[in-house]
Homo-oligomer: A and B are copies of this chain.
Amino acid sequence: MIEVYKHTPLYRFLLFCNESGLERTVLDCGAGGDSPALGLFASYGYAPTGIEFDPAQLELSGSYAQAKGMDLNILQGDMRQLSFADGSFSFVYSYNSVFHMRKQEVITSIQEMKRVLKPGGLLFANFLTVNDFRCGEGVDLGEHQYEQFDDDLPVIHSYYRADEPDVMFKDMEVLYKEDRVLERLYNGERIRQGFVDYIAKK
């Protein structure tokens, strides 16, 4: 039985991918971690490729793949400079990942994702919004960019107004956009998170 993955919005992306009828090749940018979403795509017959910048996250996804007997093909890489030819993949996504950089680098990364996407291919990306409870926390780098800490490690978080990422998709057809504010329990506390998700066609 296929595992239920926690990356809920990617089920909608998977549905769009299935319905497109394109060859099932997919790239995940920021693919590491202990429950890699590429496992979902691999389970549905997609040829997976992933890149991950952080060696610790790469190791976690490697352990997951080994335990599940899956080859997820996740490599060390940098989404600001992808090592793939133009038009290499039918589908490219970055889930809960691209906003861990400054906004200028986010623009570069989205450009790279579009470059390696086939014409007619589909892109999913999501962004933190200014509705998030952590927006404003940490060292202010301007334009809602903050230096914060995750698990005692310094990290950049860039937050967006809900329409702010639109400009990055102006050369694509936006098929789906969702601006969402969620409240959930995290370590016993109720937290509020804000995301805006895009599905766009090249």
The residues of A with any CB-CB pair to B shorter than 8 Å are 1-2, 4-6, 8-9, 11-12, 14-15, 18, 43-45, 162, 174-185
In the complex, the answer to whether A179 meets B181 with C-beta atoms within 8 Å is yes
Task: Return the chain B residue nearest A162 by Cβ.
Answer: B181
A183 CA to B184 CA, complexed, in Å: 24
- Chain A interface helix/strand/loop/mixed: mixed
Q: Point out the residue from B15, B43, B175, B180 that lies within 8 Å of A178, measured CB to CB.
A: B180
In the assembled complex, which residues on chain B have CB atoms less than 8 Å from the CB atom of A184? 175-177
A9 CA to B10 CA, complexed, in Å: 11
A120 CA to B175 CA, complexed, in Å: 39
In the complex, the answer to whether B6 meets A8 with C-beta atoms within 8 Å is no
Q: Shortest distance in angstroms between A35's beta carbon and chain B's nearest beta carbon?
A: 11
A130 CA to B194 CA, complexed, in Å: 19
Q: Shortest distance in angstroms between A37's beta carbon and chain B's nearest beta carbon?
A: 12
Q: Point out the residue from B11, B162, B180 that lies within 8 Å of A4, measured CB to CB.
A: B11
In the complex, the answer to whether A12 meets B8 with C-beta atoms within 8 Å is yes
Q: Point out the residue from B1, B45, B174 that lies within 8 Å of A2, measured CB to CB.
A: B1
In the assembled complex, which residues on chain B have CB atoms less than 8 Å from the CB atom of A175? 184-185
Task: Return the chain B residue nearest A6 by Cβ.
Answer: B15
In the complex, the answer to whether B6 meets A44 with C-beta atoms within 8 Å is no
Q: Shortest distance in angstroms between A131's beta carbon and chain B's nearest beta carbon?
A: 9
A14 CA to B8 CA, complexed, in Å: 10
Q: Shortest distance in angstroms between A170's beta carbon and chain B's nearest beta carbon?
A: 15
In the assembled complex, which residues on chain B have CB atoms less than 8 Å from the CB atom of A8? 8-9, 11-12, 15
Q: Shortest distance in angstroms between A181's beta carbon and chain B's nearest beta carbon?
A: 5
Other A-B pairs beyond A6-B15, A162-B181, 13, CB < 8 Å: A1-B45, A2-B2, A4-B11, A4-B15, A5-B11, A8-B9, A8-B11, A8-B12, A176-B183, A176-B184, A176-B185, A178-B180, A179-B182
